[in-house]
Structure 1
Amino acid sequence: MNKDRIVLLDALRGLGVLGILLCNAPDFAVPPVVAESASHWPHGTGPATLSVWVVTQWLFQRKFVTLFAMLFGVSIFLVGGERSDKDRGAILRRRLLWMVVFGLLHGFLIWYGDVLLSYALAGFVVLFVRSWPARKLIRTGLTIWIVFSLLSLVGLSFAAFTPQAADQQALETAKMLAKAKAAEAAYGGDFLQSLVQNAKDRLAFLPAEPIIFVMTSALMMLGLGAFKAGVLTGEASGRVYRRLLVGGVLASLLVGGLFVAEAVMGLPRGLGMVAVGVQWALAPPTTLAYVALMVFATRSTPWSAIPRALAPVGQMAFTNYLAQSVIMTAIFYGGRGLGLHGEVDRPGLAAITVAIWIAQILWSRWWLDRFEMGPLEWVWRRLYRGPSPLRKRVSAAIA
Structure 2
Amino acid sequence: MTKDRIVLLDSLRGLGVLGILLCNAPDFAVPPVLAESAAHWPHGTSAATLSVWVVTQWLFQRKFVTLFAMLFGVSIFLVGGERSDLERGAILRRRLGWMVVFGLLHGFAVWYGDVLLSYALAGFAVMLARSWSARRLIRTGLGIWIAVSLLMLVGMSIAASMPKDSAQQALETAQELAKAKAGEAQYSGTFLQSLIQNGKDRLAFLPAEPIIFVMTSALMMIGLGAFKAGVLTGEASDRLYRRLLVGGLLASALVGGLFIAGAVMGLPRGLGLVSVGIQWALAPPTTLAYVALMVFAARSKVWSAIPRALAPVGQMAFTNYLAQSLIMTFIFYGGRGLGLHGKVDRPGLAAITVGIWIVQILWSRWWLDRFEMGPLEWVWRRLYRGPSPLRRPALATA
TM-score by length of structure 1 reads 0.99
Residue 365 of structure 1 corresponds to: 365
Aligned counterparts of 1:102 and 1:349: Cα–Cα separation in 2: 26
Among the aligned pairs, what percent are the same residue? 85
What CA deviation, in whole Å up to 9, does each residue of 1:154-184 have, x standing for no partner? Answer: 0011111101100110110000000000000
TM-score calculated relative to the size of structure 2:
0.99
Match of 1:345 in 2: 345
Residue type at the aligned position of 1:198: N
Ranges in structure 2 where 5+ consecutive residues have no aligned partner? none
Q: Please show how residues 66-145 of structure 1 align to structure 2 within 5 Å.
A: 66-145=66-145
Secondary structure of 2:266's match? coil
Question: In the TM superposition, what are the counterparts of 1:204-353 in structure 2 within 5 Å?
Answer: 204-353=204-353
1:11-22 paired onto structure 2 within 5 Å: 11-22=11-22
Tell me if the contact between 1:27 and 1:35 (Cα under 8 Å) persists in the aligned partners. Answer: yes
Aligned-pair CA distance for 1:144: 0.0
Deviations 1:303-348 (A, max 9, x none): 1000000000000000000000000000000000000000000000
> Does residue 1:146 correspond to 2:146, yes or no?
yes
In structure 2, give the amino acid aligned to 1:219: L
Question: Are 2:370 and 2:395, in contact at CA under 8 Å, matched by a contact in 1?
Answer: no
Matched, 1:50 2:50: yes
Distance 1:395 1:46 in 2: 52
Query: What is the distance in 2 between the residues matched to 1:350 and 1:84?
Result: 47
Letter of the aligned partner of 1:341 in structure 2? H
Correspondence for 1:23: 23
The letter for the 1-side match of 2:343 is E
Q: Which amino acid aligns with 1:316?
A: M
Asked whether the equivalents of residues 16 and 65 of structure 1 are also in contact (C-alpha less than 8 Å), the reply is yes
8 Å CA contact 1:370, 1:397 repeated in 2: no
Q: In angstroms, what is the RMSD of aligned CA positions?
A: 1.0
CA contact under 8 A between 1:369 and 1:397: conserved in structure 2? no
Residue matched to 1:177: 177
Q: d(CA) in 1 for partners of 2:56 and 2:163?
A: 30
Shift of 1:397: 10
Deviates more, 1:275-284 or 1:162-171: 162-171
Deviations 1:228-260 (A, max 9, x none): 000000000000000000000000000000000
SS of the residue 1:189 aligns to: coil
Q: Verify the 8 A CA contact 1:149 1:280 in the aligned structure 2.
A: yes
Q: C-alpha displacement at 1:63, in angstroms? A: 0.1
Q: After TM superposition, give the deviation of residue 396 of structure 1 in Å.
A: 9.5
Runs of 4+ in structure 1 over 3 Å off = 395-398
- How far did 1:3 drift? 1.6
Instruction: State the aligned residue count.
Output: 398
The residue aligned with 1:190 is: 190
Rounded Cα–Cα distance in structure 2 between residues aligned with 1:395 and 1:29: 41
* CA–CA distance in structure 2, aligned partners of residues 43 and 395 of structure 1: 50
Deviation at 1:98, TM superposition (A): 0.1
Give distance in 1, aligned partners of 2:330 and 2:22.
Answer: 17
Separation of aligned partners in 2, 1:290 and 1:394: 36
For residues 392 and 3 of structure 1, the distance between their equivalents in structure 2, rounded to whole angstroms, comes to 18
User: Structure 1: which amino acid aligns with 2:265?
Assistant: M
For residue 3 of structure 2, what is the aligned residue in structure 1? Answer: 3
State the Cα deviation string for residues 342-382 of structure 1 (Å, max 9, x = none). 00000000000000000000000000000000000000000
CA distance in 2, matches of 1:128, 1:102: 22
Q: How does 1:22-41 map to 2 (within 5 A)?
A: 22-41=22-41
Q: Distance in 2 between matches of 1:93 and 1:160?
A: 43
Query: How far apart are the structure 2 equivalents of 1:63 and 1:27?
Result: 17
* CA deviations over 1:177-210 (Å, ceiling 9, x no partner): 0000000000000000000000000000000000
Secondary structure in structure 1 of the residue aligned to 2:129: coil
The verdict on how the C-alpha distance between 1:259 and 1:309 changes in structure 2, with shifts beyond 3 A counting, is: same
Native 8 Å contact 1:25 1:353 kept in 2: yes
2:387 aligned with 1:387, yes or no? yes
Structure 2 CA distance for partners of 1:175 and 1:128, relative to 1, 3 Å: same
Q: Which amino acid in 1 is paired with 2:261?
A: A
Contact 1:249 1:286 in 2 (8 A): yes
**CA apart distance, 1:395:** 7.1
User: Deviation per CA, 1:11-44, whole angstroms, max 9, x where unpaired?
Assistant: 0000000000000000000000010000000000
Counterpart residue identity of residue 370, structure 1? R
Structure 2 distance, partners of 1:275, 1:354, is 26
Contact 1:83 1:130 in 2 (8 A): yes
Deviation at 1:2, TM superposition (A): 1.3
> Tell me, what secondary structure is at the counterpart of 2:392?
coil
Instruction: Provide the rounded CA distance (Å) in 1 between the counterparts of 2:160 and 2:180.
Output: 22
Counterpart Cα distance in 2 of 1:8 and 1:42: 40
What is the alpha-carbon distance in structure 1 between the residues aligned to residue 118 and residue 282 of structure 2? 21
